[in-house]
């Protein structure tokens, strides 16, 4: 398993789409705060501090996570079906379950790296321009660590779903298109159906799609932690199992 993960890490480091995404998001993360900086400067409004920017725009990072997972799934995993790489590794002697888990692990690592670009780069830039300021009382280093850990955990959950889509669809274009549409409309769909069906409302309430918005909450009550942690872990487990089952039955050409 360790050697399989090393191979996948090597492929991730050499993947042009991964680096293109990282560079593009870095550029956007640098440009986005500058728009606010010059706008506030010209209008005489107080500048955002690093802490204020992080708190205000942290929820926007959910879109970066969804976009990054969808694109990376298509170009890092699904593309191997078209190039014949997937057929080669599937006949390498390793079980398909181990192959899938190695690929999922590295895919989640790549997606996590993408998900951290916006909050880290933007916050550092705003801090250099206007200072970091202060987080609300009761927050601090623990809050920043919590945001970091939850962002990685929830990104891994989205990655597990994205990897499942690649096993089902195999084509990179279909994977990217379907993943983007699914991640963008699933909240509205579940919320709409949930308004009529109590079961769906409860399902949505405790799903990663709803709970992703709680990553940036300043305070999380002790009673909220079980759902906040179990939801992504359960999503990863269920999606991984389904992905393995699909991948084992897949006729790879």
**Annotated domain spans of the chain:** 2-249
Residue 171 to residue 83: CA distance in whole angstroms: 11
Which pLDDT tens digit goes with each residue over 70-129? 999 999 988 888 887 787 877 777 788 999 999 999 999 999 999 999 999 999 999 998
pTM comes to 0.93
Say if residues 216 and 119 touch (Cβ distance below 8 Å). no
Residues in the chain: 253
Residue 71 to residue 96: CA distance in whole angstroms: 23
Residue-level pLDDT at 104: 95
pLDDT for 138 beyond 60: no
Which pLDDT tens digit goes with each residue over 161-197? 999 999 999 888 999 999 999 999 999 999 889 888 8
Say if residues 114 and 72 touch (Cβ distance below 8 Å). yes
DSSP 224: G
Residue-level pLDDT at 13: 93
């Amino acid at each position: 398993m360790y050697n399989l993960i090393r191979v996948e890490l090597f492929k991730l480091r050499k993947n042009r789409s991964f680096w293109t995404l990282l560079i593009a998001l870095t550029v956007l993360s640098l440009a986005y705060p500058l728009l606010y900086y010059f706008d506030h400067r010209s209008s005489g409004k107080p500048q955002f501090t690093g802490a204020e920017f992080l708190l205000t725009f942290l929820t926007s990072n959910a879109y970066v996570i969804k976009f990054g997972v969808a694109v990376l799934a298509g170009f890092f995993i699904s593309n191997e079906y078209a190039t014949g790489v997937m057929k080669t590794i599937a006949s390498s002697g390793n079980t398909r379950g181990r192959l899938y888990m190695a690929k999922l692990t590295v895919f989640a690592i790549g997606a996590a790296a993408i998900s951290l670009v916006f909050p880290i780069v933007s916050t550092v830039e705003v801090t250099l321009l206007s200072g970091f300021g202060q987080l609300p009382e009761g927050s601090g280093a623990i809050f920043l660590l919590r945001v970091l850990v939850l962002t990685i955990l929830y990104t891994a959950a989205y990655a597990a779903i994205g990897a499942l889509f690649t096993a089902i669809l195999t084509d990179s274009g279909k994977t990217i298109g379907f993943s983007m549409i699914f991640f963008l409309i699933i909240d509205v769909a579940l919320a709409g159906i949930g308004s009529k069906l109590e079961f769906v409302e409860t399902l949505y309430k405790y799903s990663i799609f709803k709970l992703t918005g709680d990553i940036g909450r300043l305070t999380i009550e002790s009673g909220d932690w079980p759902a906040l942690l179990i939801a992504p872990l359960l999503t990863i487990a269920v999606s991984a199992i389904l992905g393995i089952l699909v991948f084992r039955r897949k006729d790879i050409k």
